[in-house]
Amino acid sequence: MMARDEDASGSALTVWRGPARPRAAVLVLHGGQERSERPARPGQLAALRMELVLRAVARAVPDDVLIARVRYRVRGWNGERADPAHDTLRALDELAHPVPTVLVGHSMGGRAALHAAGHPLVHAVVGLAPWWPPGEPVAQTAGRTLLALHGDRDRTTSPADTAELLRRAEGTAARVGQALIAGGDHAMLRRYRTWHRTTAALVAHLLDPGSNPDPLPATHRPEADGPRPHPDAAPRQK
């Protein structure tokens, strides 16, 4: 049964699928802006973009996995305030069941997920074209899995910055990995099927590795010369 809590209660959590006894949870975090005090709205483009990702993940995982969105108060990261990161921590605190949780964040949402990785419920972070600028902290990823997908045509966030952060997280995080979506852009519109399919497969594997193969082989780690292409990411020949 789908639960769509779109009220204005001030909650940081919008539950999309809420089983009575979830065994795990997935929280989806959309992108935003570097600075903005404008109120975040479920109908804004950044939030709608992640609706398709959310649906793909929901199809790939069992019905006893809770699926929810993080609801931001404002649209901007806003410097040291890191508003979306605080909203993500609030959303994790609002989960009614203390179950292993995977955070899936696009762009600014990936940055919020990274900052919230130290919450006791967080099992893994999946960044989609994440905004991980130089100098971001990694100590909070201890014992967590930290993965990223980037489009090689991304002109908004940097695959190289992501690779550098993952290299710094090695030895702290339980696992790091990154792959490129050839032909993929920041908005995840080009090669969208590959974005959705790979993200869903990653989450399914993270929640149940025994039943779901890893879509990122062990070779997909942050190499010194940058991330390697995803095996399903070669441009299609016309």
pLDDT band per the 50, 70, 90 thresholds, residue 233 = very low
pLDDT value, residue 216: 86
Distance of CA 5 to the CA centre of its chain: 21
Give per-residue burial for 194-232: e unless 16+ CB within 10 Å, then b: bbbebbbbbbbbbbeeeebeebbeeebbbeeeebbebee
238 found inside a domain: no
pLDDT digits (tens, 9 = 90+) for 161-193: 999 999 999 999 999 999 999 999 999 999 999
121 found inside a domain: yes
pLDDT value, residue 20: 96
Q: Which residue has tokens 């649209």? A: 75
pLDDT value, residue 7: 41
Q: With a cut of 50, say whether residue 87 has pLDDT above it.
A: yes
Which tokens is 23 given? 């065994």
Q: What is the CATH number for 103?
A: 3.40.50.1820
pLDDT value, residue 221: 55
Tell me which residue range forms the domain holding 175.
Answer: 13-229
Which tokens is 39 given? 């109120």
pLDDT value, residue 166: 97
Q: Give which of 156, 73, 146, 153 is closest to 105, Cα–Cα.
A: 146
pLDDT value, residue 217: 67
Quick one: average pLDDT of 200-222?
85
pLDDT value, residue 10: 86
Which tokens is 31 given? 């992108």
Total domains in the chain come to 1
Q: With a cut of 60, say whether residue 113 has pLDDT above it.
A: yes
pLDDT value, residue 238: 22
Please answer whether residues 15 and 26 qualify as being in contact, where contact means their C-beta atoms are separated by less than 8 angstroms. Answer: no
Quick one: average pLDDT of 80-90?
97
How many other CB atoms are there within 10 angstroms of residue 102's CB atom? 27
DSSP code of 9? S
Q: Distance between CA 141 and CA 235 in Å, rounded?
A: 33
Please answer whether residues 23 and 65 qualify as being in contact, where contact means their C-beta atoms are separated by less than 8 angstroms. Answer: yes
Quick one: average pLDDT of 143-169?
96
Q: With a cut of 90, say whether residue 211 has pLDDT above it.
A: yes
2 found inside a domain: no
| pTM > 0.85 | yes
Which tokens is 170 given? 């090695």
203 found inside a domain: yes
8 found inside a domain: no
189 found inside a domain: yes
Return the beta strands (E) in 47-203 as ranges.
Answer: 65-70, 101-106, 122-128, 145-151, 175-181
The continuous run of DSSP H or E covering 51 comes out as helix 45-60
185 found inside a domain: yes
116 found inside a domain: yes
pLDDT digits (tens, 9 = 90+) for 1-58: 233 333 445 899 999 999 999 999 999 999 999 999 999 999 999 999 999 999 999 9
What share of the chain has pLDDT > 70, as a percent?
A: 87
pLDDT value, residue 227: 47
